[in-house]
Structure 1
Amino acid sequence: MHEEHRWPVYKLCAAVGVSKAGYYKWLNRAVSQKQTEDEKLAGLITEIYQAQRGIPGYRQMKIILERRYGLKCNLKRIYRLMRVLGLRSVCRKKKRRYQKKTPAEYTAENILNREFSSDRQNEKWVTDITELKYGSGSKAYLSAVLDLYGRNIVAFSLSRRNNTPLVLDTFEQAFQKYPDAKPLLHSDRGVQYTSRSFRKEMKRVGVCQSMSRVGRCLDNAPMEGFWGILKTEMYYLYHFEDYETLRKTICAYIDFYNNDRYQKKLGCMTPAEFIAASAK
């Protein structure tokens, strides 16, 4: 400060009540190794945070640092540095959904019964539809299927209409990818999944249907969790001017989710890595 403003050191020291010797000791103080390491780590954290558009929280940041940079960092240290840097993952409050009840004769039992673990690929699939908006309030509907083994998105489809053809298209893609799959399929009691045409198609391919109980969204918690992640890490970050932009962004995000997003439940691997490792 005295060099910038050309003020005599003795006047500055007198003004703040310190000795000249004390001032020069402070000026030439050595930076600790821990402080140096923290500064380097903080710089790397900031780079990662900016590159991923503010998506990673401190837990996801820990996994990224370990997997991509080989850095073993204490979770509390990462939390502290991100807090000091003012870096917080985007977070949104989940909107409450209301589900139309369908006649009991068209529904299936809750066979899955919140048993969300799976021993092999294509043993248990969960599915759902979520509403997204673009332009000046126009609506689009995203249907997706998630495999509980690798926590990967098996297939997805976007449409301007929330109807049975939407879910039939989703499952046509899924069975094109895995023609021999005969999973237990869990969904809510939406009219798309209880429709005659959908039930007929599931019976044809040998799929056993399971459905959530009325008003029990946690019966399909993994699917609800995926919607929360997709909306937090992608949907809420942008305003989509048109349907095509929304579609392309969803495609890119699901590719990222399956191939590049680490999951603690999978041993800090991506779904693609986990599935590949289990096949060996």
Structure 2
Amino acid sequence: MLKEYTPPLVWDEKTQGMNSPTSGCRYDKELPQGEHPFQLYSLATPNGQKVTIMFEELLELGIKDAEYDAFLINIGKGEQFSSGFVKINPNSKIPALVDRSNPSEIINIFESGNILLYLAEKFKKFIPIDLAKRTIMMNWLFWLQGSAPYIGGGFGHFYVYAPQKIEYAIDRFTLETKRQLDLLDKHLSENEFIAGDSYTIADIAIWPWFGNLVLGNIYNAVNFLNTDHYKNLKRWALMLQDRPAIKRGTIVNRLIGNEWEVLPERHSGEDIDTVLLKKP
């Protein structure tokens, strides 16, 4: 039985693992830099996968200006708190991107949804031109940015990572997770893709969280959540999983998995090809 906790009048500052109540860099270290126009510093979490999938989708279209170097940021070792990373993203969260395509105007971009929007607007791909369709897409892009923390920091944390299994916390976040799954399932019963009849950055943003979740790629909770119940969502998740860019993008900056799933750094398409060729 858990000991009941009574919050004090003023919270006594403490830390939990890498989490601290203060922001900013914790040590000095510059980030590596490759030769391509874009420099990505990330890890293959769902938020990190959004960006690598986007780059691979652009490259799949033959857009050579979307070439990128992807460097690993190991958040388990606190590499997101280096002076070099904090300079790009003061919030110390992956992913972070540097656009060096114009040497006279180097641009730092952080927040995964913002990176997707930046790349979509820069290359005019995977984003509708029509205002009404664009607004529908943006509805779902912003929905994901607000909803994903319930999946990752809420359900995933208490179901998988918390040192104690707290029934109240798991139930609370499971309720919201299943509500979100039901929402997507109903929406996809009437739409082929998230924003209608075309693939957009809304799909690219949502798949790494909800696609991975219903396919059992994160949290191993398909039985607990009864994800087979969400047939329309699963149809969409499987359809997108077969896209070459998603297969390629999900292994970039990955540390854990089979040998055909692990690629800490990416500096060319051949890096990904070499890994995928190992798949039996």
TM-score w.r.t. length of structure 2: 0.24
- Which entry has the higher C-alpha Rg, 1 or 2? 1
Between the two structures, name the one with larger relative contact order (CA 8 Å, sep ≥ 6): 2
TM-score w.r.t. length of structure 1: 0.24
Bigger fraction of residues in strand: 1
